[in-house]
Structure 1
């Protein structure tokens, strides 16, 4: 059974395919991305097929590169712009169905209450649209099934929300639009999410009939939810620096130079709904699925941060 990953690049994509290649025959794997020449030669020499395409490719081009693939991991387009993201992902999903793909794994996001079909965060909207489209494709095409993997918010990404970019030089005060003891986030390590995604894909490829997540959502959260006070306490211990939280208005938060620089004019207004979702607890859900799929305890948030702060 041929497995494809698109796009096979970026942190999650690279983690997934490097883990997958240790679990399935390499000559049954197709890696599709904008720059296939960047796939390490050792994998190509071991039999991996590489193809060129991106989300900007035409529907016909995507159908062509998906042809021959039985199981496709479609990694979501990296943008929080709702309508454009939905448009390009729907195009890719339709192309996969027309190409004859039998099962689509979709990398969704755990920025909603567990198994919920609605969410406050605009960044989640395109994921919900794509999940709904997958369900409809499977309903109207008996040869297609799906699994949506709601990947937890990356432990490594918390500086994005906290308004700094350097683990080794964090500020003494973190200004966020949230009280420290309010709802937090169930942070998950990116590489473990990639490993778990690979294990799910390999499990389906080896025995589709025994796979328990067919036509289901699986949420891969971290092992616990961390309030922002706890999150900052972890950073303080890891860096040896006394760090405090200052709750500020959303407008003040969005006006911080580092926030404006990171998100830019197109995406900065998505922060309004993102923080609404965090304050409502929609990023705080916890499941045991990540550890169960890994076959070991998921790495605690504090260990991941200690490694980054070294």
Structure 2
């Protein structure tokens, strides 16, 4: 029997995956840095593990065949943490890593955090694992939250387009992959919405569907850095925030994939469908 291990079980994405697999009767090992925060399921065992190379993490992974690895919390040392965890998985004898990556991940991507994903993907391959890379585009949930919380979307995205994806679609894809991981070995799956939209179009659609007035405010890069300084952060974080928008402006986040439909047998959810599901 294939032994599964899941990381990120206390987070949004990993928590959903853990719950759905448990409810489907699929046994798995749940790994958490803080196990006391994890939900308890009858058919899941809970282990303490961090993204590090340590005896404890290796022990938590021993006997695991397939590892679902949620990308680590954003920080300047994320690549090192990922590599250390991958080293632990290799020592423990893990065979296959399913990793949440980023759409069009590359070493020279405009979105700064995309570069972390590209390096992590390379390290997983170099380390000899079978792999499945689930490459999420920006979440539609994020842009909707901007509309709901701030009443606007503001940034230097120009009229560039993004095929933003609903996070629950990604979670459902991962659940299906984990039910039959061998089918998806050594594949890259692009997670996108059903349509390329500019941020102006997202604001307009949100306004029409919700009966409110939401604007897209186009900023220069300099204006974007200045406006985000109302939040105290380190330079790398400002770079990540601003490059979210410049990546869209550059065209790197455009393009519609059929991979969600290939896995789930249905198309990815549109902005309209997402907002309708929120209202239920």
When the two structures are superposed, what TM-score results if normalisation uses the length of structure 2? Answer: 0.90
- Residues 1:292 and 1:263: Cα distance change in structure 2 (over 3 Å): farther
Q: Secondary structure at the match of 1:178?
A: coil
CA distance in 2, matches of 1:237, 1:263: 34
Deviations 1:275-300 (A, max 9, x none): 33211111112101112212222221
Post-superposition shift, 1:178?
A: 2.7
Asked if the contact 1:80–1:123 (Cα under 8 Å) also holds between the matched residues in 2, the reply is no
Post-superposition shift, 1:240?
A: 1.4
The answer to whether residue 148 in structure 2 is matched with residue 155 in structure 1 is no
Higher RCO (CA 8 Å, separation ≥ 6 residues): 1
Asked if the contact 1:118–1:128 (Cα under 8 Å) also holds between the matched residues in 2, the reply is no
CA distance in 2, matches of 1:135, 1:261: 40
Post-superposition shift, 1:58?
A: 4.4
Show the counterpart of 2:70: 75
- Residues 1:247 and 1:7: Cα distance change in structure 2 (over 3 Å): closer
1:1-310 to structure 2, matched below 5 A, reads 1-26=2-27, 29-41=28-40, 43=41, 46-55=42-51, 57-79=52-74, 81=76, 84-110=77-103, 112=104, 118-138=108-128, 144-158=129-143, 164=146, 167=148, 170-171=150-151, 174-179=153-158, 182-204=159-181, 208=182, 211=183, 213-256=184-227, 259-261=228-230, 264-266=233-235, 267-308=237-278
Aligned residues between the structures = 278
Structure 1 gaps, min length 5: 139-143
Deviations 1:223-277 (A, max 9, x none): 1111112100122123312223232212212222xx3355723401223433332
Q: Secondary structure at the match of 2:29?
A: strand
CA distance in 1, matches of 2:276, 2:109: 32
Asked if the contact 1:123–1:274 (Cα under 8 Å) also holds between the matched residues in 2, the reply is no
Post-superposition shift, 1:38?
A: 3.0
Structure 2 gaps, min length 5: none
Deviations 1:94-145 (A, max 9, x none): 11011000111111112x27xx66522211011000011011111xxxxx31
RMSD over equivalenced CA pairs, Å:
2.3
Post-superposition shift, 1:85?
A: 0.9
- Residues 1:224 and 1:80: Cα distance change in structure 2 (over 3 Å): farther
Asked if the contact 2:110–2:243 (Cα under 8 Å) also holds between the matched residues in 1, the reply is yes
Q: Secondary structure at the match of 1:264?
A: coil
**Runs of 4 or more off by more than 6 Å in structure 1?**
none
